[in-house]
Amino acid sequence: MHPEYQYLNTLKDILENGVIKKEFNTGIELKSVFGRIMRFDLSQGYPLLTTKKVFWKGILHELLWFLSGSSNIKYLVDNNVHIWDEWAYKRYKEADSNSLQQEEFIEKLKTDEEFAKKWGDLGPVYGRQWRRWKTSDGREIDQLKWVIQKLKSHPHRKHYIISAWNPEFIYEMAQPGQSMALPPCHTLFHFTVNQGKLSCGLYQRSCDMFLGVPFNIASYSLLTMMMAQVTGYEVGEFVHILGDAHIYANHYEQVQEQIQREPRPFPTMKIDPSIKDIDQFKFEDFTLEGYDPHPAIKGEVTVVGGF
pLDDT tens by residue, 134-184:
888 889 999 999 999 999 999 999 999 999 988 876 667 656 766 665 778
Residues 226-271: tens digit of each pLDDT: 999 999 999 999 999 999 999 999 999 999 999 999 999 999 999 9
Q: Per mean pLDDT, which range of 84-98, 104-118, 185-199 is the poorest?
A: 84-98
Query: In terms of domains, do 230 and 249 share one?
Result: yes
Query: In terms of domains, do 96 and 222 share one?
Result: no
Q: Per mean pLDDT, which range of 181-185, 193-197, 276-280 is the poorest?
A: 181-185
pTM of this structure? 0.93
Q: What CA–CA distance (Å, rounded) separates 70 from 165?
A: 16
Q: What CA–CA distance (Å, rounded) separates 182 from 160?
A: 24
Query: In terms of domains, do 182 and 33 share one?
Result: yes
Query: In terms of domains, do 147 and 242 share one?
Result: yes
Which of 42, 116, 185, 269 is flagged as catalytic? 185
Query: In terms of domains, do 52 and 165 share one?
Result: yes
State which amino acid sits at residue 3. P
Query: In terms of domains, do 57 and 183 share one?
Result: yes
Query: In terms of domains, do 179 and 264 share one?
Result: yes
Query: In terms of domains, do 199 and 118 share one?
Result: no
H helix runs in the chain, sequence order: 5-17, 56-68, 74-78, 85-95, 102-111, 113-119, 126-131, 143-153, 212-231, 252-258
Question: In this structure, is the dihedral angle defined by the CA atoms of residues 127, 130, 131 and 135, taken in order, positive or negative?
Answer: positive
Confidence (pLDDT) at 138 = 87
- Asked if the structure places residue 206 within a domain, the reply is yes
Q: What CA–CA distance (Å, rounded) separates 282 from 51?
A: 28
Query: In terms of domains, do 278 and 215 share one?
Result: yes
Confidence (pLDDT) at 90 = 85
- b/e string for 175-185 if b means 16 or more Cβ within 10 A? eeeebbbbbbb
Structural domain harbouring 161: 5-71+124-285
Q: Does the active-site annotation cover 200?
A: no
> 202 near 241, Cβ under 8 Å?
yes
Residues 50-109: tens digit of each pLDDT: 999 999 999 999 999 999 999 999 999 999 999 999 889 988 888 876 779 999 999 999
- Asked if the structure places residue 292 within a domain, the reply is no
Q: Is the pLDDT of residue 305 over 70?
A: no
Query: In terms of domains, do 103 and 25 share one?
Result: no
Confidence (pLDDT) at 97 = 63
Mean per-residue pLDDT for 197-205?
Answer: 98
Q: What CA–CA distance (Å, rounded) separates 303 from 306?
A: 8
Q: What is the CATH number of the domain that holds 32?
A: 3.30.572.10
Query: In terms of domains, do 177 and 83 share one?
Result: no
**The total number of structural domains that make up the chain:** 2
